[in-house]
Structure 1
Amino acid sequence: MRVLIAAITASATLCATAAFAEGDADKGAKDYNRCKACHAIEGPDGFIVKGGKTGPNLYGIVGRTAGSLDGYAYKPSIVAAGEAGLVWTPELIAQYVVDTSGFLEDYLDDPKAKSGMSKQALREPSNVAAFLALHGAKADATAEGTGEGADENTGEGAGDITVENSGEDSAQTP
């Protein structure tokens, strides 16, 4: 029975991954304007997208353990999720942004778990997740053709990806 459940879970995960992987990063760049009120994307060579400091820097969020960016004061529930093994993927980011506290309640099996971020009304959260997946050490290494990543939390050793910034501000996201 456990093997059957594991097979069904793996199959569902693969299907969900394929669906979220189809997010449109170009549309996500526009949707990210809502996020930059609270979040910046700052790589090792400077800002990719300037933004607020209410939320953590989202450079390298994909592949990062939740609640682990040095120098940011996370809420206890997101740190607990990271300690329980939560590592951000585009799929999980897309799920998280639409109901941040609900996501943590489910992940931690704790009805008192709370996020410091408000949930977002995004038509396609997978688009923002696809956009964020472009900005980090692993994405930079792939873009450079090296296949080697840099430190996920600091971005050390990573290259640049240039993104146009329209300068519009709105509500926060991831």
Structure 2
Amino acid sequence: MNLLSRGTALALAGLGLWSAPATAQDVANGEVQFGRQCVACHVVRDPEGRVLAGRNARTGPNLYGIEGRVIGSVEDFRYGDAMIRLRDRGMEWDEESFLGYVTDPTAWLRATLDDRRARGKMAYQVRDPQDAADIYAYIEGLSTRSEAAN
């Protein structure tokens, strides 16, 4: 909301005169949703070892620098067979793959691998696609800010 204050935008929206873009990402909501939906299993830890988000969770891989990273390539993390197959193909994470995966990991893996038996280890699903987009924006923002600070 660069040109409108939040209050102005809410007032205009209430009158039906303005609405936020459907694809706009809300980093603040992403932070809240990461804390609610991801923190139990994931951490965002930069290469220097600083925890930028989460705790020391190890159930899922570190999400630092996910954009452009080869799927299934976090060192010392034990991935399932489907993720290893994607790694071997050199497939990289981007926003589209992240959103597909976190909203329905099994369905995304099956469609991506064209294998109805493919399964991943992540059973959790982010049910709201906007929350998933916001989480992605938040995680990517942490990585970008950390890299800029170094």
Equivalent residue for 1:122, pick from 124, 127, 130: 127
1:100 aligned to 2:105?
yes
The amino acid of 1:74's aligned partner reads Y
Q: For residues 92-130 of structure 1, what are the alpha-carbon distances to aligned partners after superposition, in whole Å with 9 as ceiling and x for unaligned? A: 211110110110111111111101001413322111111
Report the TM-score, using the length of structure 1 for normalisation: 0.65
Is the contact made by 1:40 and 1:49 (CA closer than 8 Å) also made in structure 2?
yes
Report the Cα offset of residue 131 of structure 1: 1.0
Alpha carbons 2:72, 2:84 under 8 Å: kept = yes
> Following superposition, which runs of at least 4 residues in structure 1 exceed 6 angstroms of deviation?
none
Residue 9 of structure 2: aligned partner: none
Q: Which runs of 5+ in 2 are unaligned?
A: 1-21
Deviates more, 1:41-50 or 1:62-71: 41-50
1:111 aligned to 110, 113, 116, which one?
A: 116
Match of 1:72 among 73, 77, 84: 77
CA distance in 2, matches of 1:140, 1:122: 29
The amino acid across from 1:78 in the alignment is M
Query: Whole-Å Cα distance in 2 between the matches of residues 75 and 106 of structure 1?
Result: 16
**Alpha carbons 2:104, 2:126 under 8 Å: kept:** no
Report if the CA contact (8 A) 1:90-1:133 is conserved: no
Query: Offset of 1:139 from its aligned partner?
Result: 5.4
CA deviation after TM superposition for structure 1 residue 140, in Å? 3.8
- Kindly report the root-mean-square deviation, in angstroms, between the aligned alpha carbons of the 2 structures: 2.0
Name the SS of the counterpart of 1:29 in structure 2. Answer: helix
Structure of larger gyration radius:
2
Question: Counterpart of 1:37 in 2: which secondary structure?
Answer: coil
Structure 1: segments with no counterpart, 5+ residues: 1-18, 145-158, 160-174
Quote the offset at 1:82 in angstroms: 2.0
Paired position in structure 2 for 1:151: none
Q: TM-score, normalised by structure 2?
A: 0.74
Residues matched between the structures, number: 125
> Are 1:91 and 1:129, in contact at CA under 8 Å, matched by a contact in 2?
no
Aligned to 1:42: 45
Give the alignment partner of residue 32 of structure 1, picking from 24, 30, 34: 34
Alpha carbons 2:41, 2:59 under 8 Å: kept: yes
